[in-house]
Structure 1
């Protein structure tokens, strides 16, 4: 526990210290203590910081909602045994095997506007080619689709584990009372599964908030030429490794850390309320 604590406390403490200084150029260079100056500068940046916050929230919320809905649908389909069920489960879990960078590069080739397979499929049904990752309006939704493709299986695993642990007597009793499939799901299954759903939301939302690999692999520095997919992670990375503004990037990361902690606290309280 001491070892794990050091691994967490030291980087966090060092980042907090840097956020209170004007550190730039090199973390070993001399720096002056400026207090909350970096936080004031970052919070007043309406050109990069607040748009990055908006993209982070949009990315997380959209991916989370779609993944939870799709994950629940797939988990319900896999809940009852059927022929070939093992092969179907293996196929669904395949996206989890690949690393996010590999997934990003794969979809970058598929969504290539000139020779990508996605536009070729659209041409077969008479739809004009789309810019996908190269368009300002389509880049962020396209990266959200990539995240959904890779991480929906994780939600399926969590929800399927919760479904298999539910008692069958309640569903059978509702069936005997004449409840249809929708009524049994919304009035029996979903309330019993609520704690598991909150766990899935907690784990997946934290991962979505921290998404960096796919965004950087597909759009590069700054989240694209017009910062179209620049989330807080990409913004902080750019401040650190592109501009060497370690003090400001540390302030962004501390603010981001507080946002994640607050979100975790809210979901944890809701989960405890369900127990």
Structure 2
């Protein structure tokens, strides 16, 4: 009985009318593309949402700053170009003093918070008995809202019934105006801000300290360097990227401070505008005088100041990292 065999070359050839390899379809192509870009696809919804929340208010504020909108945002308004910016920049009675107070408040508060934060972080760096309880106590100011903090310190610094003046009276020091004084109000609000937000700087700097290697410090100790030399020549240079991050985060937040100032001094930052920063000034133009065009111009200029500060600190951080 004969058996018919097919040549090997004929078996390896595909049937007529069929392709040797299946071409991937659109579904397979999209699946491959999605797999390669999955990190962007997962983050895209959140990025789009945040982008809309930022772009729309910023665009609307920019539009209002170019109009004479006042009284009501729905009222008819005319395009005036950069007139609002010229009016604001020529205001030497309210705008420029508000710029000065904003920079003074931010600069003094930031320096105090970074210096105190570094000192406290160094104290908490090494383990000791009761360390957890001390850390919890230090973080307590962050729990309260700024408005509550402002009202608390407003009672403490009250010139008539405040605890601070009563304590000063016990040692023979006359009562101080504190928040009521034209020359002391800004410094008092700076103290409130330092009291509440220094713990945030402590957390950032303490995280940076715990990530440092102990070998450079031990080597310097073996070479006879004292504590101050080890800090200024070893620890501080290694901590500079973390310090700049703390300055960047806290500085931006300090520039935008509003609630504690408004809670303690009210409209206009006081009778003589003694604590009126750009935020308080813009709020007053919007909700006290309904000058939406002018207030929008102030906010855009303020936004440019914040962006410029962020850029300078970011460039500084890159230079330190190199």
Q: Please indicate the TM-score interval, normalised by the length of the shorter structure.
A: over 0.9
The 1-side partners of 2:320 and 2:188 are apart by 35
Which residue does the alignment assign to 2:231?
Answer: 185
Ranges in structure 1 where 5+ consecutive residues have no aligned partner: none
Query: Does 2:136 correspond to 1:54?
Result: no
The 2-side partners of 1:208 and 1:2 are apart by 27
Query: Does 2:245 correspond to 1:199?
Result: yes
Any idea what the Cα deviations from partners look like across 1:143-200, whole Å, max 9, x if unmatched?
Answer: 0000000000000000000000000011000000100000000000000000000000
Query: Does 2:155 correspond to 1:109?
Result: yes
How far is 1:238 from its partner?
0.1
Query: Does 2:178 correspond to 1:138?
Result: no
Ranges in structure 2 where 5+ consecutive residues have no aligned partner: 1-46
Tell me the SS of whatever aligns to 2:186: helix
TM-score of the superposed pair, with normalisation by structure 1: 1.00
How far is 1:272 from its partner?
1.1
How far is 1:124 from its partner?
1.4
Runs ≥4 in structure 1, deviation > 2 angstroms? Answer: none
Aligned residue-pair number: 275
The 1-side partners of 2:318 and 2:59 are apart by 30
TM-score of the superposed pair, with normalisation by structure 2: 0.85
Which residue does the alignment assign to 2:112?
Answer: 66
How far is 1:261 from its partner?
0.1
The 1-side partners of 2:301 and 2:118 are apart by 32
Query: Does 2:294 correspond to 1:248?
Result: yes
Which residue does the alignment assign to 1:273?
Answer: 319
How far is 1:274 from its partner?
1.7
Which residue does the alignment assign to 1:171?
Answer: 217
Which residue does the alignment assign to 2:174?
Answer: 128
Question: Which entry has the higher C-alpha Rg, 1 or 2?
Answer: 2
How far is 1:255 from its partner?
0.1
The 2-side partners of 1:82 and 1:13 are apart by 53
The 1-side partners of 2:194 and 2:68 are apart by 39
The 2-side partners of 1:24 and 1:187 are apart by 57
